[in-house]
Structures are given as structure tokens and as C-alpha cells.
Amino acid sequence: MISPMTSRTVRTMCPMNCHPTFCGMLVEVSEEGRVLGVKGDPENPDSRGFLCIRGRAAVEIPHNGRRLVQPLVRDGRRGEDRWRAVSWGEAIDRIVRAIEATNRERVGFWFGHGAHVTGINRPLIMRFGHLGGMQVWNPAIVCWAMGAYGLGITGVIESNTKEDMAAHSRFVLLWGANLASQPTTAPHLMEARRRGARVVLIDVRRTEAARHADETWLIRPGTDAALALAMAHVIVAEGFVDHDFVARHTIGSEAYTEHLKPFTPEWAEGETGLAAADIRRLAREYATSRPAMIVVGGASMYKHRHGWEPGRAIATLPALTGQLGIAGGGLGPRHRSFPTGDHLADLTAANRRPPGGWVPSHMSSIARLIKEGGLDVLLTAGTDMLSSFSDTAAVERDLERVGLIVAYDVFANDTIRRVADVVLPGTVWLEDIGIKETATHFYLMERALEPMGEARPLISVLRELAVRLAIEDFFPWPSVEAYMDALLAPQRNGTLTVAKLRELGGIAERSRLDHVPYREGRFATPSGKIEFDSERAVALGLPGLPSYTRPTRDGAALPLEFRQGRVLTAFHSFYDNGRALPALERAEPHAELWIHPDDAAPRGIAAGGRVELWNERGRFEAVAHVTADILPGVVWARDGWPGLNTLTSGEACLTPAASDGLDPRIPGGQSAYDARVEVRALSPSGASAR
């Protein structure tokens, strides 16, 4: 008689890192240590059993035949993708020799979302760089930080929760928020609608969120700040200002009122393409539907040359109408918004970094450092620089000046294949332990599998390097769980530990949690008030009052505005940009370019035909998606496709001083990811690219 196969269920979190959406996951593991299946955790208070296609595809990660399972060194020239397997000892020796042979300031550490899927690695990466006297950079500059920078100048960096939206909002304005990177917000949005809330979407294309909206408005890319200023003009001109709130909790209102006079809806119509009458109606509806919540996008709407301007202007709208610090109002959940309550401990040791010529978290400065030969060693972890940086063709060319490039990851990607010299195989989320935090809760991620092959957790690699390089006090804790306890120390007056989390079933609410920030009227500015007029901005070389800079539209040879963003089938450069996971590759087999019929027809482009985007910097091939869900003159593609960012300029959005000067948590060092392009057909009209 054959005994029935037994298995166990492990509670963990999805490894995709789609902050603020961290979904609970139940993993079925066989006695032999193989993952049999994954599903959503119905007891997870954030996701309530939901698991999107990215999370469901995670079952294909642990035993994937494409995983990196042993250290490798390049066997030949860069770009040849030929490798030789070596021992961990040989790999570490080579890294240590290279670092010891140079000045520590000429060693850089760049990492991405893939390096901290367990939620506990990021502080140690920063600590390693700080105590080691190396260059180390915050990867938020390729993601959420530019939007938060603009919000931070005004003073609104904490957000109301999705639970608050569901329970209290009467009007929800989704502004560049497509829900692809926070899908668990959608059920709460639907709850709000069932309760009678009205939902309006503003974006450059009709996104997945449009099906949850009562009304959708498409605007020209890069004109969000113009729309926000015009709405503020209407709010002031038509008497919708909450004068009591403005008097008690803001500074610079008189200057802002005067500043807004020329930003009429008629002016904004010419900038945004949205009719003046519709702008007035939108402003009135927002101002009179109390409580009203604005859910701003996490990254895509800010990825242009003046990407800090939208957040700066949008954040003034709830201030003018007195909708901050109230249930159902304020700004809603967004990628990496700061929660209201006790945080994790800061163990990055930034205050112990020795003096040095540190290059800030500023993409164009990092690129210039590489170009000018300022790095001898580049350590990378969980990232694909040749996908995530702007102007990647130049970055790849300049990386030839770096003597040794090391990559720690789970799967090979373009950066590994083309420029890395040493490759270290990383563990997946089930082969390690961790903690993930959402706006409201902390979740324990238990280890469920033994590492595949010779893969090692990143923390163990950093600890070994720290010992070999004599980096003192890098890891003063007796174990990884003791380190996790130190992270949790601010919670519940130090009583929330890993052991206590286990007792609680792996789930604990954030201590001193408040679903509504700013109840006390204290804001994140030097004055403690909302700053319509900001002396801090002026000191950073920026306008004191919210501003708008018109996007360049004078390129006759390159008449189309290119933008990029997110979809549910991909997130950043995880798992070789999703190509390593069959489920995601099947769902999105090729890059797709959204183009309006009015732009497609004169170019002989038909739906499903192959096309090429081009400009003076690069070329990129895709399949045409001809649709009226985008405006004429605009083309759009999902971010993360290899080669896509050869089109983008790499132009700095802010100076290095301005980037570093606002808030140490919010670097403004993004480079521009927009571009002007032309598109040509590569296959005859009507010919399929499949």
C-alpha cells in the first residue's frame, strides 16, 4: 500500500515587493522540500486572500531550472556570456582583493527590490556601505522617491490607509494611480463605491483602474501640475477654501492665492488637453464632496524632467479644502508612503559614516562617477541596472571603466549577462527568514526550504565580507533573529519580537497605528505646517511656490511623447524582468506599444504589427496596440523591458544638493525617463508579430 503524500502549509508573504501591496501567501511544501502550490492567505488583514498573477507565478521560482545555483566568474570578455563555476571561497577572495586594492570611496553598492524581498536586507546593505566607507545608494531614485519629494516640500508624506478609504471616503480621485502596483487597494475602492463614493481617474492612458472609476480623464503627459494648479485656482476663486484650516495649519496662503491667478482652467486646457469646463467641474466636485481622498500614483507620473512638480502642487489641494487629518480625506495609499505609527528601528548607521567624497543618491551623478572612472568595484544585488537606469546605452558603455562588477541575484539578467564579472547565487524568499511591513501590520516570513544548490542568503554574504574587510560592528547581534528583534524594538515598547510574532501567528498590528495621519495638525516641514510658500525649497534652488514647467513639444523630427508605466504582469526587473517565470512570460510574451489610431494610420501601423521606436539615443522593438485609450501624440509601454531605457535621456531632474537636501529618507535623484520618439512599422499593415 502506498502511503498518502503528506505536506505542510507555511504562512509567508509574496516575494514580489509591490509596496504598498504586500500580499499574504500560504505555501504548500512537500516532505521532500518542494513547493507544491501557493495561494492567497485569507487571514492576512491586508490582502484577505488576494494574490495577483505575479504572486501566483511565484510557485515557479524555487525549483526553476534557470536559477543561479553556484558562484560564477566570467570566462572571456564582457558581453560574451561565458562563465566558469568557482567555489564561494574563490569568489569572495576575488571581491576582497579588488576592494583592498583600492580606496573604499571607489567601491560602490547599488541594489534593487530583488535584494530585500524578505524585508530585512536593506538596512544591512546601507549599514555595510556606511560603516565600510563605501559609496552606497538608495534605489528609491528609480521608483517612488521623486513623487514623495514633491509631496514632502508641501509637507504631506503620510497617507490615509486603504481601510480608511473603504469606510469613509465620499469621493476618490485616482491621480496617476493605476492599481497595478497596489492591487489590494482595489477591493477597498470597490467597498467605497458600494457605500456610494464616486471615483474619478486621471491618467495619460485608460488603465486597469478605469473599470473601477465612474469617470476617466486623459491628460497630456507631464501636465499633472498644470491641472492641479488650475484646480487650486478654482477652489480659491470660487470660495471653496477652508479658511479656518488654512489659518491654523498653513503658511504662505496669501502668496499662493496671488500666485494662482494666471493658472485658469482656460490656460490649463491648452496644457492638459482637458476642457476648461471639465476642470472646473472636477475642482468643484473634489472641494464639495467632503471627505474626498486623492490617491496619487507611486512612480510613473513623476518620471519626467520636472517630476517633483506634480506632488508639490497636488498636495496643496487637500490643504486648501481642509481635508487633511480627517477620516476619508487626505492622500490615499501609494507606493512607499510613510505609515502613521511606530516604525522599525533605523540600523543603517548613517550617522557613523566616516567623512568622504560621497556621491549622493542621484542617478546622473552616479552615472558621471562611472563615466569618469571613479569606481573600481561595483557591488550589485537584486537589480538589473541595464533595465532600471535611464539612458542605459551610455551606462553600459561606461561600465567598461569599472574594474570589477559583482552581481548577487536569483536569476541572470542583462546586467549579469553583459557586464558582470562575478556572480553570486542568491536565496529565494522561502529559503530565508524575514519581516514585511505594510502601512498597518508586520508579517513574519518563516524559512520553508533549504537553499537550492550553493545559494546563500545575502546577510551571510555581507557578514563574511565584513569580517574579511575588517568592517567593525557591522553585525553585532548573535543571530539573524536577534537582528530582527532589534528592528522590531520600537514596536509595543520592545515587546514585539520574532518569538512573539510566532505566538501571534506571524501577524501583528503596527503599534500606535492611526489610519488617519495629521490629526494633530503637525506636518513634515520646518514650520510644522503645510507650506504653500517654502523657504526650504528656495534654499534648495527651487521655486518657493508650486510650479509647472511645460514639457518640450517642439520636436518635428520626433513628434511623439513616450511614457512608461506598470501592468499587473510585471514589477521592476524581478526574475529577469519576468522572463524566467513561464506564467508571466505567457501572459506578456512581448513588449506592447500603445499608440492612438490617428498616429498609427499615417505610419502604416496596424494592431499586432511589429514596430520600432527610435530617437537619437536608441532603438526599441515592440508590438503595436492601436487604441483610443491613449491620446494622439502619445505612445506608452510597460517599464522594465530590456532596451527600453536606451531611449531615455538620463537628464537630472534636480541638482545633487537639492536631491539630498529635503529629507534623508526621500532622495530626489531621479533622472528623466520620458523621451520624444518616432515610431515606424517593421511589418506590413495587418501582419501579425506573433
Instruction: Tell me: do 79 and 24 sit in the same domain.
Output: no
Instruction: Tell me: do 267 and 294 sit in the same domain.
Output: yes
The Cβ-side half-sphere exposure at 275, using a 13 Å CA radius, reads 3
Instruction: Tell me: do 96 and 167 sit in the same domain.
Output: no
Is 587 domain-assigned?
yes
Say if CB 579 and CB 585 are below 8 A apart: yes
| 345 pLDDT above the threshold of 50 | yes
CA distance 228 to 426: 44
- pLDDT number for residue 146: 95
Residue 586 is placed in which grid cell?
Answer: 505567457
Q: Which residues pair with 677 in a beta bridge?
A: 560
Contact residues for 540 (Cβ-Cβ < 8 A; gap 6+): 654, 655, 657, 658, 661, 662
Residue 409's SS3 state is: strand
- pLDDT number for residue 87: 98
Residue in 16, 21, 12, 46 with CA at minimum distance from that of residue 570: 16
- pLDDT number for residue 457: 98
- Across 480-509, average pLDDT: 98
Instruction: Tell me: do 47 and 105 sit in the same domain.
Output: no
Residue 367's SS3 state is: helix
**Residue 40 dihedral angles phi and psi, to the nearest 5°:** -70, 150
Q: Please identify which residue in the block is written with the cell numbers 499586432.
A: 608
Instruction: Tell me: do 638 and 504 sit in the same domain.
Output: no
Q: Please identify which residue in the block is written with the cell numbers 511614457.
A: 563
State pLDDT tens for residues 517-571. Answer: 999 999 999 999 999 999 999 999 999 999 999 998 766 789 999 999 988 888 7
Q: How many domains in the chain?
A: 4
**Residue 35 dihedral angles phi and psi, to the nearest 5°:** -80, 125
User: How confident is residue 337, by pLDDT bands cut at 50, 70 and 90?
Assistant: confident
Instruction: Tell me: do 149 and 106 sit in the same domain.
Output: no
288 lies in which domain range?
145-179+186-339
Single out the residue in 281, 307, 339 at which a domain terminates: 339
State pLDDT tens for residues 46-65. Answer: 999 999 999 999 999 999 99
CA distance 136 to 186: 36
CA distance 601 to 616: 24
State pLDDT tens for residues 569-587. Answer: 887 778 898 899 999 999 9
- Across 93-98, average pLDDT: 98
Instruction: Tell me: do 18 and 77 sit in the same domain.
Output: no
- pLDDT number for residue 421: 98
| 5 pLDDT above the threshold of 70 | no
- pLDDT number for residue 201: 97
Is 213 domain-assigned?
yes
CA distance 337 to 438: 10
CATH number of the domain encompassing residue 197: 3.40.228.10
CATH number of the domain encompassing residue 39: 2.20.25.90
How many C-beta neighbours within 10 Å does residue 122 have? Answer: 18
Q: pTM of the prediction? A: 0.96
Residue 679's SS3 state is: strand
User: How confident is residue 125, by pLDDT bands cut at 50, 70 and 90?
Assistant: very high
| 687 pLDDT above the threshold of 60 | no
Say if CB 660 and CB 652 are below 8 A apart: no
- pLDDT number for residue 574: 81
**Of the spans 6-20, 30-44, 673-687, which averages the highest pLDDT?**
30-44
Beta strands in 248-357 (DSSP E): 250-251, 292-296
Single out the residue in 490, 509, 528 at which a domain terminates: 509
Q: What is the dihedral of CA 306, 380, 152, 659, to 10 degrees?
A: -60
CB-neighbour burial class of residue 163 (10 A; exposed 0-12, middle 13-18, buried 19+): middle
Long-range contacts of 192-195 (CB under 8 A, 24+ apart): 192/165, 192/166, 195/166, 195/167
